Amino acid sequence: MTLRLEKDNAPLAHGPLVFIVLDGVGLGRGDAYDAWAQAETPVLDRLLKDAKRSRSLFAHGTHVGLPTDDDMGNSEVGHNAIGAGRVVKQGASLVDDALADGSLFESPGYAQIRAAYERPGAALHFIGLLSDGGVHSRFDQLEKLLRGAAARGANKLRVHVLTDGRDVPDKSAHIYVQQLEDVLASLRASSVDAAIASGGGRMHVTMDRYESDWSIVERGWKAHVLGEAQAFPSAGAAIEQLRQANPDVSDQYLPPFVVVDDAGAPVGPIVDGDAVVMFNFRGDRMIEICRAFEDEDLAAFDRQRVPDVTFAGMMEYDGDLHIPSRHLVAPPVINRTMGEYLAAEKKLTLALSETHKYGHVTYFWNGNRSGAFDPTLETYEEIPSDPTAFEAAPEMRAAPIADRTIAALASKEFDLIRINIANGDMVGHTGDLAATIRACAFVDAQLGRILDAVEQAGGIFIVTADHGNCDDMALRNKDGSPLRGPDGEVLPRTSHTLAKVPLCIGGPGLSDDAALDTDREDAGLKNLAATTLALMGFVPPADYEPSLVVHKS
């Protein structure tokens, strides 16, 4: 199919367009733990004061194709949405589709899992939240995974269950355990050795997040891997007896347990040669346990024994750090991205970032497609990242990115320059507030240099972000107050946030009556492809989310 765009007979802009992604810069609370608000950022502050040409955008949850609006955005889905111009399924929806058509079991990740469990004596372990709450996992997906694996030669299955009581009614764990036992019984009737091996409550065992309490992961490791926890003849007996011992205990906080055989031996510790799959589709509470399996030099706790296993997640839970290294459901393949349309229109593009975000401004922007659509029209440049720790060198490579952008504008070679400045995200992940404030101030200074060059080139700019991160550097209580440790210290947040992100447009190439539509309440990253094409003088494709650029006198 030949892609073509219709020219706009009344374009709102002219000149080269610079599209700037300030990675991880959300619009936060503005309090002492909002690194961007605490930093000296006069450039973005000035842009945000222009009510005609600035607004906020959604960058998380269903607005970027994630299952729920409790799901934080990330760089992968953010750049997917920016480039695609429409919402693309992510997470649970992709897993549903992959299970329905069987493609999950044909994936490269599953092929390696299968090769492992087909070895004599090897077990296939599943670890995750036993629930149908649909926030982190779903029972029906686990059942399909178990039955699909058994149909494909897995004859020793072990499930390590994390009880919920949070996304489903409390004290309902025994219901889900019985449902699982019924599934496992039907598999045993088909000569498959299938059993629950261990478990515990989600807030007490395995499912920590944001590195707030590694002892939660350590308890899970001891139960799932080492087979060390209070022993019971079944998971049902464990829940019953643990509740008898403490009638007030929530499913969320059930102590760890292991299931043992008649001789008192654990039925399913994870050992060398086994295969292990995390069946949660949501990643925030899976990242640490994945690291426990895959990080060679993990110092968070003493693992005692690290089994040599073939390990996979349902999804890639952290695309920035590629955690885990193997997954079963691939990111979506997206066609007709703005990059493909612009290549078809013979527009010259420069895509630029440092190493940490190079794939985002190229691969993910292009709809999970490697390489250029037309190498004669597209220039992809990677500036090597500095190996120094982010908190020690929070400036990262923002200055060389600005230098190259300024040179590209001066060359008058490109119609579109798209760049990613990674500091707000990568330094924000360290949890070091002072370093992140320093990073934000430096990024703003480089932004100012770039916008000065846009002015000199007679061009236009878009400034936005892909998700929040540096806008909140503190873990929070339910009332929004900072969460404090045993000595009164504020516990640092190292994860992404649910914050909206900025959108600012400007430059001398922008018509005086060009403004942003501030009335569209659901505006998000999904609208930016159409906005970009409109600023470049084209009528966006009809199935793209609408452009946010409007005529306003």
What is the structure's pLDDT at 1? 63
State whether 80 and 112 are in the same domain. no
Domain boundary among 281, 313, 345: 313
**The pLDDT value given to residue 170:** 87
By DSSP bridging, strand 501-506 and strand 54-57 are antiparallel
Residues 85 and 140 placed together within one structural domain of the fold: no
Domain boundary among 313, 348, 378: 313
Residues, the chain: 553
37 neighbors 43 (Cβ within 8 angstroms):
no
Domain around 236 = 92-313
**What CATH code is carried by the domain that includes residue 285?**
3.40.1450.10
- Crossing angle of helices 173-188 and 139-151, rounded to 10°: 10
Amino acid at 233: P
Q: How far is Cα 14 from Cα 509, in angstroms, rounded to an integer?
A: 5
Evaluate whether residue 322 is within a structural domain.
no
Shared domain for 367 and 241, answered yes or no, is no
Task: For residue 504, give the CATH number of its domain.
Answer: 3.40.720.10
Q: What is the pLDDT of residue 210?
A: 65
487 Cβ contact list (under 8 Å, min separation 6)? none
| H helix or E strand, kind and range, residue 175 | helix 173-188
- In the DSSP assignment, the letter for residue 104 is G
Within a domain: residue 271?
Answer: yes
Judge whether 219 and 257 are in contact, CB under 8 Å.
no
Closest CA to 321 of 205, 473, 426, 183: 426
In this structure, what token pair is assigned to residue 34? 């909002």
Closest CA to 268 of 148, 127, 66, 394: 127
> Does 300 reside within a domain?
yes
Verify that 83 and 97 share a domain, yes or no: no
What is the C-alpha to C-alpha distance for residues 94 and 78, in angstroms, rounded to an integer? Answer: 16
Q: Give 23-65 as a 3 state SS string.
A: CCCCCCCCCCCCHHHHCCCHHHHHHHCCCCCEEEEECCHHHHC
Residue 501 near residue 56, CB atoms below 8 Å = yes
Contact assessment for residue 161 and residue 169, using Cβ atoms and an 8 Å cutoff:
no
Active-site amino acid positions: 75
Q: Among 262, 278, 313, which residue terminates a domain?
A: 313
Is there a single domain that holds both residue 462 and residue 529?
yes
How do the pLDDT tens digits run along the chain, 553 residues long?
Answer: 678 999 998 888 999 999 999 999 999 999 999 999 999 999 999 999 999 999 999 999 999 988 788 888 888 889 999 999 999 988 888 999 999 999 999 999 999 999 999 999 999 999 999 998 877 899 999 999 999 999 999 999 999 999 998 778 888 999 999 999 999 999 999 999 999 999 999 999 999 976 878 999 999 999 999 999 999 999 999 999 999 999 989 999 999 999 999 999 999 999 999 999 999 998 878 999 999 999 999 999 999 999 999 999 999 988 757 899 999 998 777 899 999 999 999 999 999 999 989 988 998 899 888 789 999 999 999 999 998 888 999 999 999 999 999 999 999 999 999 999 999 999 998 889 999 999 999 999 999 999 999 999 999 999 999 999 999 999 888 899 998 888 899 988 878 899 999 999 999 999 999 999 999 999 999 999 999 999 999 999 999 999 999 988 6
219 with 359, same domain: the answer is: no
What 8-state DSSP symbol labels residue 222? Answer: I
| Number of separate domains in the chain | 2
As given in the structure block, the two tokens for residue 463 are: 């400034």
Q: Are residues 265 and 336 in the same domain?
A: no
Distance CA 446, CA 263 (A): 67
Q: What is the DSSP letter of 225?
A: I
